[in-house]
Amino acid sequence: MNAHEFDQFRSRLLDKKKLLLQSVKKNLEGNRQPESRMSFELVHDNPDRSVDELLKHVTAHVLGGRAGELDLIESALLKISEGNYGKCESCGEQIDNARLNACPEAVFCIACQNSHERNARTTQFHGTPPPQTPGLADYLDDDE
């Protein structure tokens, strides 16, 4: 991969990071608005409380997924700066440019990604808990 390609991927990753952070901040700001959420003082019955709790859990899950995406983007940006971008973390082979164009934060080649997903499904069915998603606090600051 040449320097021009590295620069193109870096630019795409930075744009993707910016959009994700804007989306997360918008979501968090929307959740702070009193009219956008129920308050336990205003909720009068158990079904309303259940809906409020469900909405909180769904929001936390979505934000956790975005934190995972941000981790992958940060990792890809670090690899670019180190000159290791585009190498499969499993087999060490170069990830196809078509895959990187579709998903610039990819860490596995297609074959290893398929194997990884099969293993994850197998592990999931055997009762091993999935890995914990990191929080968003590391990515949010006041000037973004």
For the cut 60, the answer to whether the pLDDT of residue 144 exceeds it is: no
DSSP 46: H
Angle formed by the axes of helices 3-32 and 46-82, to 10°?
160
Tokens of 8: 């193109």
User: Could you read off the pLDDT of 66-99 as tens digits, one per residue?
Assistant: 788 888 999 999 999 998 999 999 999 999 999 9
For the cut 90, the answer to whether the pLDDT of residue 104 exceeds it is: yes
pLDDT at 48: 60
For the cut 70, the answer to whether the pLDDT of residue 102 exceeds it is: yes
Query: Binning pLDDT at 50, 70 and 90, where does residue 136 land?
Result: low
Closest listed residue to residue 94, CA positions, set 112, 78, 82, 81: 112
pLDDT at 72: 92
User: Could you read off the pLDDT of 18-63 as tens digits, one per residue?
Assistant: 988 888 777 767 665 555 445 544 555 556 666 666 666 666 666 6
* CATH superfamily assigned to domain 3-125: DksA, coiled-coil domain (1.20.120.910)
Q: CA-CA distance, 76 to 79, in Å (whole number)? A: 5
Domain boundaries, the chain: 3-125
pLDDT at 55: 61
Instruction: Say which residues have a Cβ less than 8 Å from residue 12's Cβ, sequence separation at least 6.
Output: 104
pLDDT at 33: 54
Q: What is the torsion angle, in degrees rounded to the nearest 10, for the CA atoms of residue 67, residue 70, residue 72 and residue 75?
A: -120
Interval 111-129 mean pLDDT:
77
